[in-house]
Amino acid sequence: MFERYTDRARRVIFFSRCEASQFGVDYMEPEHLLLALLREDPALRAHFVRKQIRRGEIRRRIETRTPPRALNNSISIEFSAGLKNVLLRASEEARGLEQNRIDSGHLVLALLHDAGSFPGSLLREFGVQYERYREIVRNTEEPVDRARITFVRRDQESALEEDAIPPSADALAPIIGRLRHILVTAAAYLHTDSESHELGRLARKPWMRKQALGHLVNLAATHHYWFTRALVEPKLTALIPVDESCIEEQHFEEFSWRQLVDLWFLSNRLLIHLLTKFPESKLQVQCRIGVTESMTFIELVETYVDSVEDLTAQVLSLL
């Protein structure tokens, strides 16, 4: 379905799923697509900066209309009928402009085209007009995607299939599935030929992309140690949380991008393997990390997956 999508448009779909998960819903809606576009589409971001409009206002309006529920940890978040129509319209917009690839701008046009949709009305309210935006998209040079690595290589793909065995504790299944989904989905956007992007700085962390990926490896290693202790001990107490203060001292920039990506993948594969061995009786083990309040083991796992998803999204937003 997404063969004609540019890397940027594929990232929009990825972030739409993240938004739907944060809203605690079972379907990705056009509203979630709009929030992802505000993050990824350069012309849309420039419009909001030029008009001195906070993009958070769009989020506030959407949340007022559809208040977020409990976080949805399922990987089975589907496209709603409304979003499917938007994606079909985006294809028609690209075809109408005689452009081969579907980029984020075509997705914006698809939202604007539906006069009755809430996202389209929000965009128009904030000054984004269909005809003018269509000219912007028409005159935008088609982005050239950088060559991708085959991140989930055949051996790794087989490994993921092996890891897909049902866990001993049924309650862990959706969380493990969500972690596996993050690995496989994010893999499509991690490139070998990305020297210029490796130096990009994250929006909410003082790190370059390689440092952020190194921290993801640190997170996996630390949580593997904690998870193992929780498996064999009656309770888990860790005096020090994952240290974020010494990222520079670890010199992750000396590794190749491919090495860090593979290390991150394999570290999480090892975590998934360990999680499948946890019995139901261990899910309520009390875990206290640093000065935070005590939580159950299953809550600790959920917190880890949340952290991985958030930091991975920040890394991807720079691609």
Print burial letters for 282-296: b (CB count within 10 Å at least 16), e (below 16).
Answer: bbebebebeeeeebe
Checking if the pLDDT of 192 tops 50, the result is no
Whole-angstrom distance between the N-terminal and C-terminal Cα of the chain?
A: 21
CB 218 within 8 A of CB 307: no
Query: Domains (ranges, CATH) in the chain?
Result: 7-138 (1.10.1780.10), 154-316 (1.20.120.450)
Place of tokens 């294809």: 91
Q: How far are the Cα atoms of 155, 164, 273 from residue 161, in angstroms, in the given order?
A: 10, 5, 11
CB 217 within 8 A of CB 264: yes
Q: How confident is the model at residue 161 (pLDDT cuts 50, 70, 90)?
A: low
pLDDT at res. 198: 60
What contacts 137, CB < 8 A, 6 or more positions away?
43, 93, 97, 99, 103, 105, 106, 108, 109
Q: Is this structure's pTM higher than 0.85?
A: no
pLDDT at res. 188: 59
Model pLDDT for residues 29-71, shown as the tens digit of each residue: 999 999 999 988 999 989 998 988 888 899 999 999 988 876 5
CA dihedral over 223, 286, 298, 203, signed as positive or negative: negative
The mean pLDDT of the chain is: 84
DSSP structure string for the chain: --TTB-HHHHHHHHHHHHHHHHHT-SEE-HHHHHHHHHHH-HHHHHHHHHTT--HHHHHHHHHHHS---S----S-PEEPHHHHHHHHHHHHHHHHTT-SSB-HHHHHHHHHH-TT-HHHHHHHHTT--HHHHHHHHHTSPPPPPPPBP--S-HHHHHHHHHHTSPPSSGGGHHHHHHHHHHHHHHHTT-BSS-HHHHTPBPSSSS-BHHHHHHHHHHHHHHHHHHHHHHHHSSSEEESS----TTTGGG-GGGS-HHHHHHHHHHHHHHHHHHHTT--GGGTT-EEEETTSPPEEHHHHHHHHHHHHHHHHHHHHTT-
What contacts 281, CB < 8 A, 6 or more positions away?
none
> In angstroms, rounded to a whole number, what is the distance separating the alpha carbons of residues 133 and 42?
12
Q: How confident is the model at residue 299 (pLDDT cuts 50, 70, 90)?
A: very high
pLDDT at res. 199: 62
Model pLDDT for residues 78-97, shown as the tens digit of each residue: 899 999 999 999 999 999 99
Which of 248, 129, 230 is CA-nearest to residue 172? 230
